[in-house]
Chains A and B, each alone.
Chain A
Amino acid sequence: MMRVISVPLTVAVSVLCLPAASRLAAQTGTIEGKVTSVTTGEPIIGAEVSLVGITIGTRTGPGGTFTLLNVPVGPREVRVLAIGYKVASAHLVVLPDLSTTTTVQLAPSVLQLDAIIVTGTPGQARVREVGNSIAQVNLSQVKDPPANMDQLLQARAPGLSVMQTSGMAGEGAQIRLRGAVSVSQSNQPIIYVDGVRVRSEGYRRNRPPFNDSNGFRGGNYQASPLNDINPADVDRVEIIKGAAASTLYGTEAAAGVIQIFTKHGLAGTPRWTFQVGQGFSQLRPFGTDSVPYLNLRPAGQVHGQCHEAPVTGCSWIRNAYRQHYGGSVAGGSAGPNGLQYFLSATSEDNDGVLPLDNEKKLSTRGNIGITLSDNLRVEWNTAYSNTNLSNTPAGNNAHGLVLNVYRAERNYRSSSDPAVIDSLLNQSLTTGIQRLITGATVTYTPFAGFSNRFTLGYDLAQQQNHNLRPFGFVAAPQGILVEEQLRYSLLTADYVGSLDVRLAPQLTSTLSVGGQAVTSEEGRATAYGEGFPGPGIPVVSAARVQLAGDTSLRVINAGFFVQDVFKFRDRYFLTGGARFDGNSAFGRSLGLQVYPKISGSYVISDEPFWPASWGEVKLRGALGWSGRAPGAFDAVRSWRPCVSAAQSCFLPGQVGDTLVGPERTREAELGFDAALVNNRVTVEATWYHRLTTDALFAIRQIPSDGWPFQQRSNVGNMSNTGFEISLDAIVVNKPDWGIDIGGTVYTNHGIVRDLGGAVPFAAGGGWVQVGFAPMAARGIIINNPNEIAAPDTVCRSSCTADGFHIFGPQQPTLVLGQVLTVRLPKGVTLSARGEYQGGGWIQDGASFNALSRSVRWPTCAHAYPILYPGGPTDSLHFGNIPQLTARERKECVPSNTNADTFWFPQDFWKLRDVTLTIPVGWAIRRATSATLIITAQNYLKWVNDQLRLFDPEMVGRDALDSQNRDISEHIPPPAVITVNLRVTF
Chain B
Amino acid sequence: MRSTTVATAATLLLIAACDTSVTNPGLIGDDALDKPESWSAVALGARRALADAIGSSGTTGGQLLYWGAAVSFEINPAGSTGSFGIPTDVQTGLPTDATMNADWTSSNIARYAPEAAVHRFRRVMPDTLFAKSLFVGQAYLYAGFANRLLGENFCQSVIPVETPDPTQYRLSPGSLGPQTLYFQRADTAFTNAIAVFIASGLTDTGTTSLLRAAYAGRASVRADLATYGLAQWADVLTDAALVPNTAVFQAPYAATSPDQYNYLYWARANQSFRAHTQWGTFYEGYYRTTRDPRVRWDTTGLQGDAAVAKFGGRVPFWPEAKYATTSAPVRLSSGWEMRLLEAEAALVAGDTATARAKMNLRRTALTLPGVTFTNLTEAWTALKTERAIELWLEARRLGDLRRWIDNNVPGGYIDGTYRGSVADTLHAAPLETMTAPAARALCFPVGRNERETNPNVP
Name A residues whose Cβ lies closer than 8 Å to a Cβ of B.
210-214, 216, 376, 398-399, 410, 412, 414, 442, 444, 446, 452, 454, 475-476, 493, 495, 497, 514-517, 545, 547, 551-560, 582-584, 586, 632-633, 636-654, 656, 700-708, 759-762, 802, 849, 852-855, 873-876, 893-898
Contact = CB atoms under 8 A, between A and B. Distances in A.
B83 A633 contact: no
Interface in B133-163: 158-160
B306 interface: yes
Contacts of A555: 22
B113 A651 contact: yes
Interface string B1-17: 01100100110011011
B216 interface: no
Contact of A556 (B14, B20, B173, B311): B20
B257 interface: yes
Interface-central residue, B14, B115, B423, by most chain A CB under 10 Å? B14
A248 to B, nearest CB: 14
A895 B309 contact: yes
Given A644-B51, A703-B449, A708-B60, A649 B44 contact: yes
Contact of A875 (B6, B10, B303, B422): B422
B40 A708 contact: no
B26 interface: yes
30 contacts: A211-B59, A216-B83, A398-B273, A399-B272, A414-B303, A414-B305, A414-B314, A515-B17, A547-B256, A552-B25, A552-B26, A560-B13, A560-B17, A586-B20, A644-B51, A648-B41, A650-B41, A651-B52, A652-B109, A652-B113, A653-B27, A701-B453, A703-B108, A704-B108, A706-B116, A762-B452, A854-B313, A894-B88, A894-B309, A898-B88
Contacts of A559: 17
Given A210-B258, A475-B272, A875 B421 contact: yes
Contacts of B303: 414
B252 A644 contact: yes
Contacts of B60: 651, 708
B18 A649 contact: no
Given A545-B256, A649-B41, A895-B310, 20 more contacts: A210-B258, A212-B258, A216-B83, A476-B271, A517-B13, A559-B17, A643-B48, A644-B44, A644-B45, A647-B41, A650-B28, A651-B49, A703-B447, A760-B452, A853-B79, A853-B85, A874-B312, A876-B309, A876-B312, A895-B91
A650 to B, nearest CB: 4
Nearest to A850: B306
Contacts of B449: 700, 703
Contacts, number: 274
Contacts of A495: 6, 9-10, 13
B167 interface: no
A582 B313 contact: no
B88 A852 contact: yes
Contacts of A648: 40-41, 44
Contacts of A557: 20
B104 A446 contact: no
- Interface centre among A556, A652, A653, by most chain B C-beta atoms within 10 angstroms, is A652
Given A639-B30, A650-B45, A582 B20 contact: yes
B246 interface: no
B128 interface: no
Contacts of B411: none
A640 B27 contact: yes
Nearest to A853: B306
A854 B13 contact: no
A210 B255 CA distance: 12
A62 to B, nearest CB: 40
B6 A646 contact: no
B243 to A, nearest CB: 22
Contacts of A855: 306-307
Contact of A644 (B2, B174, B260, B447): B260
A700 B449 CA distance: 8
Interface residues of B, number: 102
Contacts of A700: 449, 452-453
Nearest to B114: A706
Contact of A761 (B29, B256, B452): B452
B82 interface: yes
Nearest to A761: B452
Interface string B225-268: 00000000000000000000000000011111111100000000
B92 interface: yes
Given A637-B30, A643-B48, A703 B453 contact: yes
List of 3 A-B pairs having minimum Cβ-Cβ separation, nearest first: A706-B112, A875-B312, A854-B307
A654 B451 CA distance: 21
Contacts of A873: 313
B335 interface: no
Contacts of B447: 703
Contact of B112 (A553, A641, A652): A652
Contacts of A875: 311-313, 421-423
B2 A446 contact: yes
B24 interface: yes
Contacts of A583: 20
Given A399-B272, A517-B13, A644-B260, A638 B30 contact: yes
B375 interface: no
B149 to A, nearest CB: 14
B107 to A, nearest CB: 8
Interface string B46-70: 0111011000011110000000000
Contact of B173 (A444, A446, A651, A702): A702
A485 B115 CA distance: 39
Interface in B79-123: 79-85, 88, 91-92, 101, 104-106, 108-109, 111-113, 115-116
B357 interface: no
A639 B117 CA distance: 12
B299 interface: no
Contacts of A706: 108-109, 111-113, 115-116, 160, 171
A210 B105 contact: no
Contact of B105 (A708, A852, A895, A896): A708
Contact of A759 (B25, B115, B160, B452): B452
Contacts of B28: 638-641, 650, 653
A895 B312 CA distance: 10
A874 B255 CA distance: 41
B201 interface: no
B454 interface: yes
Contacts of B19: 556, 558
A935 B107 CA distance: 58
A867 to B, nearest CB: 10
A628 B59 CA distance: 27
A212 B257 CA distance: 9
Nearest to A641: B28
B33 interface: yes
B367 interface: no
Q: Which of B83, B309, B421 has the most CB of A within 10 A?
A: B309
B125 to A, nearest CB: 16
A211 B57 contact: yes
Nearest to A637: B30
Interface in B405-451: 421-423, 447-451
A703 B306 contact: no
A896 B455 CA distance: 31
A704 B310 CA distance: 34
A854 B88 contact: no
A894 B40 contact: no
Between A583, A853, A874, the greatest number of chain B beta carbons within 10 A of the residue's beta carbon is seen for: A853
Q: Which of B28, B257, B271 counts the most A-chain CB atoms under 10 A from its CB?
A: B271
B308 interface: yes
B48 A651 contact: yes
B13 A493 contact: yes
A470 to B, nearest CB: 15
B217 to A, nearest CB: 18
B48 A642 contact: yes
